[in-house]
């Protein structure tokens, strides 16, 4: 008789894969790093196979780990669907969610996939805009929920603190050698722009605003063109770009706090469940 899979062990395994780190996974599943290590060890003992290869810098799946991952995701999704089908069988309606495009592409996609499987009769409309533009829409009840950067006008339930990093064209140092330094910036009023300028001014770096955009894609285009460096949230940095830092003479940037904010008209089950899903899947303790 085969041993039964423990859903908690599978959830921890998937968290380690998704975050690439035992430490980050521990924050996601609200356990200590030691507890996560013990859970992975227990899962490996049950299966009689090693799931990860580890060294001081990298964590990679073994062949057995890759094989388990697909089944683990399917089992977790099925577990959630079964629970929702019994506990919340009649949930339907519409939710309007506002979020910046970089958060949608890098953080929200897996959340929305899980939510749609659990609540297939709920229609979600996504409004992509910068956090500064979402604040008035939330106040006017034009959107229900917002997954946004926290500032003085946008408060909500804390989700996570997302680091900001400098990015440049890979293996091209011509922009870094320019003086003043050409920098692509988010639009005025944006918290990310304020943090970027504070970092540059605090380090005494001479720079010029080579480009300003309300869109992450616009900033990436300037970096791709080799005409500026920029500062982006780490989770949305394209692999083709190089992450720059102190070794390149660039200062550390204050991270962004991400929150789930709600409008006055969002007091209904569909909004409750989507807000709960975002907090459950993406929350990282400080």
Can you list the domains of the chain with their CATH numbers?
A: 7-87 (1.10.10.10), 93-161+257-282 (3.40.190.10), 164-254 (3.40.190.10)
Over residues 48-60, the pLDDT tens digits come to 899 998 765 678 8
pLDDT at position 214: 84
Rounded to whole angstroms, how far apart are CA atoms 176 and 174?
6
pTM across the whole model: 0.70
Predicted pLDDT at 239: 87
Cβ(51)–Cβ(13) under 8 Å?
yes
Q: CA-CA distance, 286 to 277, in Å (whole number)?
A: 19
User: What DSSP state is assigned to residue 258?
Assistant: E
What is the token pair recorded at 68? 């388990």
20-76 per-position pLDDT tens digit: 888 878 877 778 888 888 999 999 998 889 999 876 567 889 999 998 988 888 888
In this predicted model, what pLDDT tens digit does every residue of 245-273 receive, in sequence order? Answer: 999 999 999 999 999 999 999 988 899 98
User: Are 147 and 103 spatial neighbours (Cβ–Cβ below 8 Å)?
Assistant: yes
pLDDT for 286 beyond 70: no
Mean pLDDT of 185-192: 91
Task: Mark 139-160 as b/e (b = at least 16 C-beta within 10 Å).
Answer: eeeebbbbbbbbbeebebebbb
Q: Does residue 29 contact residue 15 with C-beta atoms inside 8 Å? A: yes
């Amino acid at each position: 008789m085969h041993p039964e899979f423990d859903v908690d062990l599978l959830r921890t395994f998937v968290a380690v894969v998704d975050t690439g780190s035992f430490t980050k996974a521990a924050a996601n599943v609200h356990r200590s790093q030691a507890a996560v290590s013990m859970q992975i060890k227990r899962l490996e003992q049950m299966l009689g196979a090693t799931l990860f290869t580890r060294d001081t810098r990298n964590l990679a799946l073994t062949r057995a780990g890759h094989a388990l991952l697909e089944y683990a995701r399917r089992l977790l999704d099925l577990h959630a669907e079964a629970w929702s089908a019994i506990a919340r069988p009649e949930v339907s309606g519409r939710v309007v969610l506002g979020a910046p495009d970089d958060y949608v592409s890098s953080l929200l996609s897996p959340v929305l996939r899980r939510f749609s499987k659990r609540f297939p009769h709920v229609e979600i409309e996504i409004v992509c805009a910068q956090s500064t533009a979402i604040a008035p829409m939330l106040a006017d009840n034009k959107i229900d929920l917002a997954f946004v950067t926290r500032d003085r006008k946008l408060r909500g339930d804390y989700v996570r603190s997302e680091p900001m990093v400098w990015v440049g064209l890979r293996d091209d140092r011509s922009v870094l050698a320019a003086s003043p330094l050409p920098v692509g910036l988010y639009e005025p009023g944006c918290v990310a722009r304020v943090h970027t300028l504070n970092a540059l001014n605090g380090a005494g770096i001479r720079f010029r605003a080579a480009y300003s955009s309300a869109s992450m894609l616009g900033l990436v285009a300037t970096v791709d063109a080799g005409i500026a460096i920029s500062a982006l949230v780490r989770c949305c940095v394209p692999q083709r770009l190089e992450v720059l830092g102190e070794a390149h003479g660039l200062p550390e940037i204050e991270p962004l706090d991400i929150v789930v904010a709600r409008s006055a008209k969002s007091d209904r089950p569909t909004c409750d469940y989507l807000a709960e899903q975002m907090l459950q899947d993406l929350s990282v303790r400080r």
